[in-house]
Structure 1
Amino acid sequence: MIFTEEEKISMLKAMDELIRSDNDIHEKEVEFLEAIVEEFDWDTGFLDKLENFKKEDAIKAVKSLSPEKLEYFQTLLNELANSDKVINEQEMNFIDRVNEFISANSL
């Protein structure tokens, strides 16, 4: 599946927010995110792109994802949350909010 730069940044921004949602950044979550960064063929400077990317732009990009890309994105979020073998309430709430947003804004 081919993603635009904006789509990649949007998904990574959401995954970064998911990792931070419980204020406990687990090593396995970071490893999972690094694997995705590698899959997207990015260098380690991707964090600068995330920090400078506006939430509104991320929302706009997610709204425009195809159904296949949305399914992949949702799978990534669930796998990331489960990467440390514990999905806590904050992570579940974040995923639920993303899923509700996707349902409300599907093409």
Structure 2
Amino acid sequence: FEQLSFKRAAELCQIPKSNVSRHVALLEQALNVRLLERTTRKMVATEAGELLYQNLTPLLVAMGDVLQETYQNSDLVSGHLKVITPDLPFLAEAMAEFCYKHPNIQLSCDTQL
């Protein structure tokens, strides 16, 4: 949402533009709501999209902070981590990256919200 451009978001995340577009479409489909109004010249967040962004941002920042703190405060992160999370592709990617960096983590995710 900050970029309001699939191309810029893809560059920032270092993933193909098609992945960004597909993830947004899947999220809109799962929520049954339009999050972005797209034209050939610009993209604007809908009211629902802005509300979702405003509510998710503090949660994503907090999750990033916790993951970073865990990483910084331990030479070897291990154990069983239980997470309750919405079934969103970008969250899955963040958790997969964390587990890749910490192979001794056993992750259990509950996406039934």
Give the TM-score, by structure 2 length.
0.29
RCO comparison, higher one (Cα < 8 Å, 6+): 1
Task: Look at both structures and tell me which one has the larger radius of gyration over its CA atoms.
Answer: 2
When you count helix as a share of all residues, which structure comes out higher? Answer: 1
Give the TM-score, by structure 1 length.
0.30
When you count strand as a share of all residues, which structure comes out higher? Answer: 2
